[in-house]
Amino acid sequence: MITNNTLGIIFANSHDALLGKLTKHRSMGSLPFGGRYRLIDFSLSNLSNAGVDKVGVITKANYYSLMTHLGSGKPWDLDRKNGGLSILPPYASPDAQVYKGRLEAIYGILEYLLEATEEYVVLCDSDVVANIDIKKMLAYHKEKQADITVVYAHGTKPEGQNDMMNFGFDDDGRIISVNFEAAEDCDYSLDTTIIGRQLLIDIVTSEIESGRVSLSRGLFGSGYHKYRIFGFKQEGYSAVMDSMKSYIKANLDLLDCKNRAELFSRKNPIYTKTRDDMPAKYGINAKVSDAIIADGCIIEGTVKNSILFKGVKVMKGAVVENCILMEGTVIGADSTVNKLVTDRFVTVSDGSNIDGEKDGYYREKNAVI
């Protein structure tokens, strides 16, 4: 019963702006990742695996692709009579504008939080790729009698976000310093946070009334003096999407079997909406090495060091290297592509020669090159 008392909140538009064209027509949460996933699959699966069966997804803009992906929440076992998945679009009351940050976003769904009966809330950003054991985290939160517990990773702090925190701890693991500056070899936030529902309501209301705008600063800025805030270390793989570069790197990280094992654990699988593709088909003379291939792909050419999403076709004589090819991309016969990120349903004509290094990394949805 430990987790049924917990409500999940996912911010679907976390740091959208940092990924430029990738998130021009979609939310961060619906950004395709790793061959068959969308980023929001990670937080949804993490919550679902912990038995959290009431989840609200806060949207802001560009949420059509997100909504078709989520549906009723079935793939994550979130189509529930009690609780289940709720999509929380911005409230458009006459005097309200679309929210700016996460603080205003939560203020906008205050009704949802007030009506809920769960004792705890897990706040998740959708720009983090990690298999986080929220069950364990919740147990830790209770054991430490914490007011707030936040997930952190150790390493060099990603540079893209200007409000990303790193922490200092006392011997017990309680946070005693919070830093928003760039740092190496530090413990930085992965923006997955457990907090009491009532405390969240209180903090958000008072911050908004005082005219403040940042949730991170509201919860952690000076709060660590006042509240018992603890860090929960993410031991396995994690990545934060804060630039096109980090997006490419995180995808290619999956070619390392250690990263894959940590991310796609047997105990806590990552679920996604299925497209019912047939298995990937490798033709005569196919040459594939070091690649993640999704179902529905047809490969008759050469693929190296790449991530191929569902239904990608690599025609005869084509050579694909160091690429991320999203759903439905077609690489025409005898083409050579290197260091390219193609959005969904991009077609590269027969005999093309494209080097992302020279010609630009990204090709937008439905482009014909």
Partner 1 sequence: MKKTECVAMLLAGGQGSRLGVLTKKIAKPAVPYGGKYRIIDFPLSNCANSGITTVGILTQYQPLELADYVASGKHWDLDRLSGGVHVLPPYQQISGADWYKGTANAIYQNLNFIERYDPEYVLILSGDHIYKMDYAKMIEQHKETGADCTISVIEVPMEEASRFGIINCNPDGSIYEFEEKPKAPKSNLASMGIYVFNWDKLRKYLTEDEAKENSSNDFGKDILPTMLAEGNKMMVYRFADYWKDVGTIESLWDANLDLLNPKIDLNLADPNWKIYSGTQGLPPQYIASTAQVENSLVTVGCNVYGKLDFSVLFEDVTVEEGATVEYSLVMPGSRIKKGAVVRYAIVAEDTVIEENAVVGESPEQVKNIDDWGIAVIGDGLTVGKGATVSAGKMITEDVADGEAI
Q: Which residues bind partner 1 (CB under 8 A)?
A: 34-36, 45, 74, 254-255, 257, 260, 263-264, 269-272, 274, 276-296, 303
Minimum CB distance to partner 1 smaller for 174 or for 260: 260
Minimum CB distance to partner 1 smaller for 112 or for 264: 264
Residue (of 135, 153, 129, 131) closest to 232 by Cα position:
153
Least distance (Å) from partner 1 to the CB of residue 33?
A: 11
Minimum CB distance to partner 1 smaller for 77 or for 163: 77
Least distance (Å) from partner 1 to the CB of residue 192?
A: 20
Question: 347-348 and 330-331 as β-strands: parallel, antiparallel, unpaired?
Answer: parallel
Asked whether the CA dihedral 78, 80, 84, 86 is positive or negative, the reply is positive
**Helix 40-49 vs helix 134-143: angle between axes, to the nearest 10 degrees?**
60
Q: Please, are residues 31 and 43 in contact by the beta-carbon 8 Å criterion?
A: no
Residue (of 314, 308, 286) closest to 295 by Cα position:
308
Least distance (Å) from partner 1 to the CB of residue 346?
A: 18
Minimum CB distance to partner 1 smaller for 24 or for 275: 275
Least distance (Å) from partner 1 to the CB of residue 143?
A: 29
* Cα separation, 111 vs 115, whole angstroms: 6
Q: How far is CA 220 from CA 32, 117, 259, in A?
A: 31, 25, 30
Place of tokens 């549906």: 71
Minimum CB distance to partner 1 smaller for 92 or for 257: 257
In the three-class reduction of DSSP (H, G, I as helix; E, B as strand; rest coil), residue 228 is classed as coil
* Cα separation, 132 vs 150, whole angstroms: 11
Least distance (Å) from partner 1 to the CB of residue 16?
A: 25
* Cα separation, 303 vs 291, whole angstroms: 7
Least distance (Å) from partner 1 to the CB of residue 134?
A: 16
Q: Any residues with CB less than 8 A from the CB of 330 and at least 6 apart, and which?
A: 312, 313, 315, 346, 347, 348
Minimum CB distance to partner 1 smaller for 254 or for 348: 254
Least distance (Å) from partner 1 to the CB of residue 89?
A: 27
Minimum CB distance to partner 1 smaller for 109 or for 291: 291
In the three-class reduction of DSSP (H, G, I as helix; E, B as strand; rest coil), residue 229 is classed as strand
* Cα separation, 278 vs 18, whole angstroms: 35
Minimum CB distance to partner 1 smaller for 267 or for 358: 267
Residue (of 251, 265, 317) closest to 136 by Cα position:
265
Least distance (Å) from partner 1 to the CB of residue 368?
A: 20
* Cα separation, 231 vs 148, whole angstroms: 9
